[in-house]
Every structure is written in structure tokens, then in C-alpha cells.
Amino acid sequence: MESYDDLIIKSSVRFRSSYPLVVPISVIVAVLCLCILIGHLVKKSRWLNESTVTVLIGCAIGTIILFWSKGTNSHILRFNEELFFIYLLPPIIFNAGFKVKKKQFFRNFSTIVLFGVFGCFLSSGIIAAGSWLLLPLVGFTGLKTREYFALGAIFSSTDTVSTLQVLNANETPLLYSLVFGEGVVNDATSVVLLKAIQRPDISIADFKSVAQIFADFFYLFSMSTVLGVFVGLLTAYALKKIYFAEHSTDREIALLVLMSYLSYMLAELLNLSGILTVFLCGIIMSHYAYHNVSDHSKVTARHASATMSFIAETFIFLYLGMDVLDIEKWNQSNSSFGTSLGIQIAIILLICLGRAAFVFPISALTNYMNKNYERTHITFKSQIIIWWAGLMRGAVTIALAFNQFTYKGEAGDFVHATLMKDTLIIVLFTTVVLGSITKPLVRLLVPHHELNNESQQNTYIEELNLPLISLKDSTSTNMLRAKNSLTMLIKRPIYTIHDFWRRFDDTYMRPVFGGPPLSGNSLIILS
């Protein structure tokens, strides 16, 4: 039998063995606290925002570590795409769905989908084709056809954090909903698109395989939607039927958090889009499950979701700043300074071109479709802000690049190492340089007096009187109603579909799954 002294020695050895992990985690937590404090202090700055400050702090910490380690290392923890996709991304996307302004989101749903899905496809194609033409001209070769397509999917992923930190959902509801909605849908689209491109049984060279990529994309998109809605409704039903009585807040919040995370993990297990699944799960939970919990749980759920998302975003931007100085990537990449600079300039120009190719035409189409209706049009100044908001690249771009060009965080050859290094530099440049210009640009294009005007223009609620067929009325009356409904559906499909969904939701969904109390104007459910 071991003596007491032997047990003490073994415990001490085990503690010391875990000490190398305790140190970096402690440093990371301390630096995160520093980022939060400094980010708050610069909130009113004309040029800086919280994400830019966090990246700059990451660069400073990376520089200190680089000198401390005598040029062997620049970061505290090793980035892994699994760390991002499994632990950091779910709370960010869930919070986006949980706090989304549903009335504005679904009211502009068609425009958001065109921006997020069609725009992502178009931008991806332009970046892929442009890279295939331009990168060899700057002396960078060695990429396969599939990798050019992957490059397009990676750099078509946007990061709208900097812009959303400036915009206000109450002052510019239309602009905020378009930028926010496109950002989430775009991220989900780019991830699903890259998964389809990476399938080993598809050859990019022939037309049938390209068509198969589109088919796989729509399959993943639709099944991910079904899974997210199902888990959200299941959670809402459970919370409505089960009475937790005392200490309900802990159990209700735990159920919301675990079920949302389960939806994400199930999607990944089934090779679907976890981003889209957990985003829709968040929307469903905020629409139904949120109203089935106690008042204390409502407040706690909002703050807990926002807090986890904020910490995850801060950590990602902090690591980005440190990883740019990763000496291993710089040593493994043997491309010259001119070649790397050419790659970076070419891709940034293609990103700008890809954004412009769909933002302005889709905005013009939306304005044309709404010219006869009392809806706020997307002004040219707003179009510039939407275009600019999508130029920043962030966490999803980095994670997709790690997923495509590295294995367990390490590039296999100098070609992939070069792309990883240049990807980090592009993300750093767009986040710090373009992100710092965002705040003065928005204030220049949308002055304060115009913010109030847009807010007032979007406060009206349009009433559609399209009653469903009633058994109490005569056949001729019902036929007339059906004719009017069909005419309205052709003229104004989004409003008509929304009206029918609202009535279906009030009649069938909310009695089963819960929701806010019914009022005279049921449009309140989408506020």
C-alpha cells in the first residue's frame, strides 16, 4: 500500500504535468479581460472599434511572445479548426439567430437570401476564376482546379462585425437587417459550398459535377433547415408542457443551451451545415421557446447567449492577431515578398469585384420590385455601406482556410503554407484597415438626421386583409376572397405569404408550441 507521502508526491507530479496548460489559459483569460476593457474605452473613438482593437492587442501579444521565445513561437495556444467549429462558432451563430429582429429579417428575406446565397455563389465564382487567371501572373502556381474553387468559397465568406458595431438596429432597421442577415446566410452558404467542393467523388472539371455541387448544396441547405426547425420546436414543446416549478431558471436555461448545441452537433454528425441549423434553431427558440420560460429565465437567456458569443468573438480576433506572426508559416512559405504581395492584392481586388457584382444589381432589382409600394428603398449610399460591410474577412474565412489547407493546424507543403500566411494577412488587413474606416464611412454616408428618417419610415405596419376561407360564408364570398388573395399573391408575394403564415402561426403553431400573447395586431410576433 502506498504511503501518504507517496500520494502527495504523485499528486504534485500530476499538478506540475498540467502546469504548461494552466499558464497559457491564464494568460489568454487575462488578455481577454484586457481586450474587453480597452475595447469599451475606445467605443466612442472615430476610427477604432472593438474587433480592430482586439486584433491589434493580439499582434502586440504575439510580438512579445515572439521575442520572448527568441523567434520560435508567436502564440500561446495552437489554433485548430475543430476548436473553432465545435466550441467557438456555435454560440456566435446561435446568438445571431436568438437576437435577430425577426420582423425586419423576414420582411427583407428575399433580398437577404439573394445577397447571402446568390451573392455568395457569384462572388465565389469570380474569386475562383480571377485567382486562376491572376495568381500565375504574379508567380504563384501549384494549385489544382478544385483548390481554386475552394479558394473562391473561402474568400466569399464575409465578416460584418465591424459594420454591425457601428449600425444601430433601431436607427437603421433596413440597413442593419440586410447587413446582419446577409452575414449569417453568407457564412452558412460558404461553409456548405466548401463542403460540397471538398467531396472526393466529384470532379470539378465537367459540367455534371458542377451541377452535382449545386444539388448537394441545396440538399444540405434544406435538410439543415429542417433539422434546426425540428429541434427548436421540440425544445419549445418540452418547455411548454413541463412545469419546472422552483429553481426553474437553471433547468430552463440549461435545456435551451444544450438543445441548441445538440442541434449543431447533430448537423455536423449528419454532414449538414451546423451554422444554418443552429441559426434557425435560435430563431425558432426565440419565437416559441423563449415565451415558455419564466421572466427570470428570459432575461438570463438573453444575457447568457450574448455573453458566450461575445467571449468567443473576442478570442477569435485575439488569436488572429497572434497567428499572423506565426514564424512556422513564414518559414515554410518560400514565396518571395513580391509574390505574396501580388497574391494579397489580387485576392483583395477580386473580393471587391465579387461584392460589387451582386450588391448593386440586386439592390437595383429590389428597388424596382418595390417601386410601387410604401417600402423604404435601398439608397445608393446604403448600397455602398452594404458593399463595404462585406469586404471584411474574419473568423469563418480563417477556419475554412485551416480546414482546406492544413492538417491539425499545419500546412502540408509550401503552396498551402503560402496560402495560409496570405489568408491571415488579408484577414488582418481587411479587419484593421478597412474596419477602422467603417465608422467614419457610415457617419459620412448616413448622417444622424437620415438615421431618424429611416427609422420613422420603417415604423409603419402594413395591414393585409386576406382572410382565409370561412365555412360560415357563402361560396361566392369565398371565391371572391380566393380571387383577391391570388391577385395579391401575384402582386406582393412576400407580404401575402407572410400574412398567411401569420394566420397559420396564430391558429395552429402557437397553441401547441407557445409564443407571445395574442393581441389585436398579431404582427407583434415578428417584432
Tell whether 377 is covered by a domain. yes
Q: What value does the mean pLDDT take over residues 413-432?
A: 85
Q: Phi and psi (nearest 5°) for 139?
A: 90, 15
Tell whether 285 is covered by a domain. yes
Q: Give the pLDDT confidence score for residue 449 in this predicted structure.
A: 47
Which ranges of 270-336 does DSSP label H, i.e. alpha helix? 274-287, 295-323, 327-332
Write the CA distances from 444 to 180, 286, 487, integer angstroms. Answer: 20, 35, 42
Query: What's the mean pLDDT when you consider all of the chain?
Result: 78
Tell whether 246 is covered by a domain. yes
Cross-strand partners of 410: 407
> Going by C-beta distance under 8 Å and a sequence separation of 6 or more, which residues neighbour residue 53?
35, 38, 39, 42
Q: Phi and psi (nearest 5°) for 308?
A: -65, -40
Tell whether 75 is covered by a domain. no
For 338-388, give the secondary structure using H, E and C: HHHHHHHHHHHHHHHHHHHHHHHHHHHHHHHHCCCCCCCCCCHHHHHHHHH
Q: Write out the three cell numbers for 32.
A: 481577454
CATH number for the domain spanning 278: value is 1.20.1530.20
CB burial class (10 A; 0-12, 13-18, 19+) of residue 132? Answer: middle
Cross-strand partners of 407: 410
Q: Are residue 28 and residue 98 in the same domain, yes or no?
A: no
Tell whether 463 is covered by a domain. no
- Asked whether the CA dihedral 310, 315, 316, 318 is positive or negative, the reply is positive
Q: Are residue 341 and residue 479 in the same domain, yes or no?
A: no
Tell whether 175 is covered by a domain. yes
Q: What value does the mean pLDDT take over residues 441-447?
A: 81
Rounded-to-integer distance, Cα 233 and Cα 371, Å: 37
Q: Are residue 56 and residue 87 in the same domain, yes or no?
A: no
Domain termination site, one of 68, 94, 124? 68
Closest CA to 157 of 186, 123, 115, 192: 186
Amino acid at 410: E
Rounded-to-integer distance, Cα 366 and Cα 154, Å: 27
Q: Give the pLDDT confidence score for residue 345 in this predicted structure.
A: 94
Domain termination site, one of 39, 68, 97? 68
Q: Are residue 214 and residue 339 in the same domain, yes or no?
A: yes
Q: Give the pLDDT confidence score for residue 285 in this predicted structure.
A: 92
Q: Are residue 495 and residue 383 in the same domain, yes or no?
A: no
Q: What is the pTM of this model?
A: 0.78
Domain termination site, one of 40, 68, 96? 68
Q: Are residue 348 and residue 489 in the same domain, yes or no?
A: no
Q: Are residue 22 and residue 87 in the same domain, yes or no?
A: no
Lowest mean pLDDT among 224-238, 297-311, 393-407: 393-407
Rounded-to-integer distance, Cα 257 and Cα 249, Å: 12
- Domain span at residue 141 reads 81-457
Q: Are residue 157 and residue 274 in the same domain, yes or no?
A: yes
Contact 179, 201 (CB under 8 A): no
Closest CA to 277 of 332, 221, 209: 221
Tell whether 33 is covered by a domain. yes
Q: Are residue 59 and residue 96 in the same domain, yes or no?
A: no
Rounded-to-integer distance, Cα 256 and Cα 241, Å: 15
DSSP state of 460: -
The residue ranking higher by pLDDT, 75 or 394, is: 394
- Above 60 in pLDDT, residue 467? no
Q: Give the pLDDT confidence score for residue 44 in this predicted structure.
A: 73
Q: Are residue 140 and residue 119 in the same domain, yes or no?
A: yes
Lowest mean pLDDT among 162-171, 227-236, 368-377: 368-377
Q: Are residue 106 and residue 231 in the same domain, yes or no?
A: yes
Tell whether 313 is covered by a domain. yes
The residue ranking higher by pLDDT, 285 or 405, is: 285
Length of the chain: 527
pLDDT digit string, tens, across residues 226-270: 999 999 999 999 988 887 666 678 888 999 999 999 999 999 898
Q: Are residue 64 and residue 86 in the same domain, yes or no?
A: no
- DSSP letter string over 236-273? HHHHHH----TTHHHHHHHHHHHHHHHHHHHHHHTTS-
The residue ranking higher by pLDDT, 463 or 221, is: 221
Rounded-to-integer distance, Cα 515 and Cα 292, Å: 7
Highest mean pLDDT of the ranges 124-133, 217-226, 472-481: 124-133
Q: Write out the three cell numbers for 146.
A: 478544385
Number of domains in the chain: 3
Torsion on CA atoms 121, 127, 133, 136, rounded to nearest 10: -140
Rounded-to-integer distance, Cα 359 and Cα 120, Å: 11
Q: Give the pLDDT confidence score for residue 28 in this predicted structure.
A: 85
Query: First CA to last CA across the chain, in angstroms?
Result: 68
Our CA angle for 187, 193, 194, nearest 5°, is: 95
Write the CA distances from 113 to 101, 153, 179, 282, 503, integer angstroms. Answer: 16, 17, 11, 18, 24
DSSP state of 517: P
